[in-house]
Amino acid sequence: MQARATGELDVNVQRLGLALEPNGDPSEAEGILNPASARTRDGKLLLYPRDVARGNISRVGLTEAVADGDRFSFRRNGFVLEPSAVYELRPSPGYGCEDPRATFIPALDQYVMTYTAFGPQGPRIAIATSKDGYSFERVGKLVFDKPGMHIGDDKDAAFFPEPVRSPAGVTSLAFYHRPMLHLSAVDGRASIPIIERMPYRDRESIRIGYIPLEPALKDRAKLLDVCESELVLAPDANWGSLKVGCGTPPVRIDEGWMSIFHGVDVIGEGARPKLRYAAGLVIHDLQDIQKIVYRSAQPILRPEDESELHGIVDNVVFPTAIDPRPDLGARVFDFYYGMADWSIGAGRLMLGGGPGTQREPAESAA
């Protein structure tokens, strides 16, 4: 892929090709996609893909990286989460543990995995923790019960790796999430005309939730207590106009906290409009993560290859994992993304500049 300048930030994205595709096992009959990633304490790269069995039953797999030059292939090694909790199971098809993201949080000395638990209530955010990256224990579903909070369908969660100060001034663990509109959860395509008439801020957007650190250090169950949630990134007219959501967990760069997010647009016309999932960059201020210092004016990755254009869901690139590559350069990152809800692609993000690089200004949605 050609380098594509995005505002004043020099961004180069290279496709590295297929990372994983279904291998014929029944656990992957309907795809292997949307992985989390982590580095073990001794530096080994792990991917945690969503493995989808027939009937849209999802598990979180475990794969270990095998070096192949400056790239990796991946060897399967079972599952880290299979649907077993009451909030992951239901009698009808379509349930399980979906779309994980993983973050090592030094303040907890734990890997924290967020995932969409799809059970009797619909999609909810759940978390599990691990000391080694190989064996995870469920903590439960996040609890949004404070005044004014969205209670209902929610997806696309990922934690920041370091504690931050919340808008209320409390030292907290912060995470992305995307509360869903009830009408889109019921019938996504039929809801498009209604959503397109809504103000951008009222469409499905990225929020940041805050969990006070001190109680969580004393009692792991307190990791579920969300005390604040603020809108941080809403759709806009340039791209991602229908909805936006978290992609990868954030990583620290000189300009702030950077992550790759996804945005959804309507393409085509007629009775059955098509949707396109593309990817862009967002950078948060290091000290005040509610402040957006950069947002891609255009996508850095669009569906273009055959594996991205056609699959279980067409026209999808869906980034969920990012792996800093200091062995290749201080501003080089590999990322992994779902391709058309069927397989996993790898990409490489290279940023030019460094401290003092000019940035495209963006207003916080909060």
| Dist. CA 320–CA 158, nearest whole Å | 9
pTM reported for the whole predicted model:
0.93
Given this model, what pLDDT does residue 268 score?
Answer: 78
Given this model, what pLDDT does residue 191 score?
Answer: 83
Given this model, what pLDDT does residue 336 score?
Answer: 98
pLDDT tens column, 53-93: 999 999 999 999 999 999 999 999 999 999 999 999 999 88
Question: How far is the CA of 313 from the CAs of 31, 116, 189, in angstroms?
Answer: 11, 18, 13
| Dist. CA 61–CA 49, nearest whole Å | 5
**Domain locations along the chain:** 11-351
Q: Give the helix/strand (H/E) hosting 196.
A: helix 192-196
Q: Which class is domain 11-351?
A: mainly beta
Q: Give the helix/strand (H/E) hosting 309.
A: helix 306-309
Given this model, what pLDDT does residue 187 score?
Answer: 55
Beta-carbon contacts of residue 199 (< 8 Å; ≥ 6 apart): none
Given this model, what pLDDT does residue 273 score?
Answer: 81
Residue among 102, 129, 20 at smallest CA distance from 65? 20
**What is the Cβ-side half-sphere exposure of residue 146, based on CA atoms within 13 angstroms?**
11
The low-confidence residues of the chain, meaning pLDDT below 50, are 1-7, 354-366
